[in-house]
Chain A
Amino acid sequence: MAQNPKPTTILDSLGEEIIRIIAPVSTCMFMVVLLVTVLNTDSSPNITTIASIVYNETSSDSIWDKLKGALLNSLAFVAVITVTTFILVLLFYLRCTKFLKFYMGFSAFVVLGFMGGEIALILIRVFSFPIDCVTFVVILFNFAVVGVLAVFVPKMPILVTQGYMVVIGMLVAYWFTMLPEWTTWALLVALALYDLAAVLLPGGPLRLLVELAMTRDEEIPALVYEARPVNYHEVDPRTANVARTLWRGRNSGSGSGSVEISDSNSSPEVWLSDGGGGEGIETRVVVVGEGQNSEVLPELLAPLVNRELEGSGTRVDCGGEGNASMDGWAIEGIGLGSSGAIKLGLGDFIFYSVLVGRAAMYDFMTVYACYLAIIAGLGITLMLLAFYRKALPALPVSILLGVLFYFSTRLLLETFVVQCSVNLIMF
Chain B
Amino acid sequence: MESGQSIRGGGAESTTGIVHRSSVPRQPIWPTIDGPLGLSDEESLSYARRFFKFGFLLLPWLWAVNCFYFWPVLRHSPAFPRIRDYVVRSAIGFAVFTVLLGSWALTFAIGGERLFGPVWKQLVMYNVAEKFGLTGWY
A→B interface (CB under 8 Å): 1-3, 45, 47-48, 117-118, 121-122, 124-125, 128-136, 138, 141-143, 145-146, 149, 155-160, 178, 228-229, 231, 234-237, 240, 338-339
In the assembly, what is the distance between CA of A45 and CA of B136, in Å? Answer: 9
Name the A residues within 8 Å of B129 (CB-CB): 121, 124-125
In the assembly, what is the distance between CA of A122 and CA of B137, in Å? Answer: 10
The answer to whether A133 and B43 have CB atoms under 8 Å apart is no
The answer to whether B124 and A131 have CB atoms under 8 Å apart is yes
- Return the 9 tightest CB-CB contacts between A and B, nearest first: A142-B61, A130-B109, A157-B69, A237-B28, A135-B105, A132-B123, A125-B126, A235-B36, A132-B108
Q: Which residue of A lies closest to B71 (CB)?
A: A157
The answer to whether B105 and A132 have CB atoms under 8 Å apart is yes
The answer to whether A158 and B37 have CB atoms under 8 Å apart is yes
Which secondary structure dominates chain B's binding surface? helix
The answer to whether B37 and A228 have CB atoms under 8 Å apart is yes
Report the minimal beta-carbon distance from A277 to chain B, rounded to whole angstroms. Answer: 13
Given contacts A2-B25, A146-B62, contact A118 B43 (CB under 8 A): no
Name the A residues within 8 Å of B58 (CB-CB): 138, 141-142
In the assembly, what is the distance between CA of A157 and CA of B51, in Å? Answer: 12
Q: Which residue of A lies closest to B18 (CB)?
A: A1
Name the B residues within 8 Å of A129 (CB-CB): 125-126
A-B pair count, CB < 8 Å, reads 117
The answer to whether B36 and A1 have CB atoms under 8 Å apart is no
In the assembly, what is the distance between CA of A149 and CA of B62, in Å? Answer: 9
Q: Which of B104, B112, B138 sits near A130, CB closer than 8 Å?
A: B112
The answer to whether A157 and B125 have CB atoms under 8 Å apart is no
Give me 19 other A-B pairs in contact (C-beta within 8 A), A133-B123, A142-B60, A157-B32 excluded. A1-B17, A2-B25, A45-B136, A118-B135, A121-B129, A121-B134, A122-B135, A124-B125, A134-B104, A134-B123, A141-B59, A142-B58, A142-B61, A146-B61, A146-B62, A155-B43, A157-B69, A235-B36, A339-B37
In the assembly, what is the distance between CA of A2 and CA of B13, in Å? Answer: 12
Name the B residues within 8 Å of A141 (CB-CB): 58-59
Q: 11 A-B Cβ contacts within 8 A?
A: A1-B22, A121-B134, A121-B135, A125-B129, A125-B135, A133-B123, A134-B104, A138-B58, A146-B62, A149-B62, A231-B36
Name the A residues within 8 Å of B86 (CB-CB): none
In the assembly, what is the distance between CA of A156 and CA of B48, in Å? Answer: 11
Q: Which of A122, A130, A338 sits near B37, CB closer than 8 Å?
A: A338
Given contacts A3-B25, A160-B65, contact A237 B126 (CB under 8 A): no
Name the B residues within 8 Å of A146 (CB-CB): 59, 61-62, 65
Name the B residues within 8 Å of A136 (CB-CB): 125
Given contacts A125-B126, A155-B43, A240-B36, contact A130 B108 (CB under 8 A): yes
Name the B residues within 8 Å of A155 (CB-CB): 38-39, 43, 47
Q: Which residue of B lies closest to A135 (CB)?
A: B105
Q: Which residue of B lies closest to A143 (CB)?
A: B61
Number of B residues with CB within 8 Å of any CB on chain A: 46
Name the B residues within 8 Å of A48 (CB-CB): 138
Report the minimal beta-carbon distance from B5 to chain A, rounded to whole angstroms. Answer: 20
The answer to whether B104 and A135 have CB atoms under 8 Å apart is yes
Report if B95 contacts A (CB, 8 A).
no
In the assembly, what is the distance between CA of A319 and CA of B4, in Å? Answer: 46
Q: Which of A121, A143, A156, A228 sits near B126, CB closer than 8 Å?
A: A121
In the assembly, what is the distance between CA of A145 and CA of B130, in Å? Answer: 25
The answer to whether B137 and A118 have CB atoms under 8 Å apart is yes
Report the minimal beta-carbon distance from A414 to chain B, rounded to whole angstroms. Answer: 30
Name the A residues within 8 Å of B34 (CB-CB): 157-158
The answer to whether B126 and A128 have CB atoms under 8 Å apart is yes
In the assembly, what is the distance between CA of A160 and CA of B68, in Å? Answer: 10
Name the B residues within 8 Å of A142 (CB-CB): 58-62
* Interface members, chain B 22-42 (any A CB < 8 Å): 22-25, 27-28, 30, 32-40
In the assembly, what is the distance between CA of A410 and CA of B109, in Å? Answer: 44
Report if B101 contacts A (CB, 8 A).
yes
In the assembly, what is the distance between CA of A338 and CA of B108, in Å? Answer: 46
Name the A residues within 8 Å of B40 (CB-CB): 237, 240
In the assembly, what is the distance between CA of A141 and CA of B69, in Å? Answer: 20
The answer to whether A131 and B125 have CB atoms under 8 Å apart is yes
Report if B128 contacts A (CB, 8 A).
yes
In the assembly, what is the distance between CA of A1 and CA of B33, in Å? Answer: 29
In the assembly, what is the distance between CA of A128 and CA of B112, in Å? Answer: 13
Most buried by B among A133, A158, A235, A339: A133
In the assembly, what is the distance between CA of A122 and CA of B47, in Å? Answer: 36
The answer to whether A47 and B105 have CB atoms under 8 Å apart is no
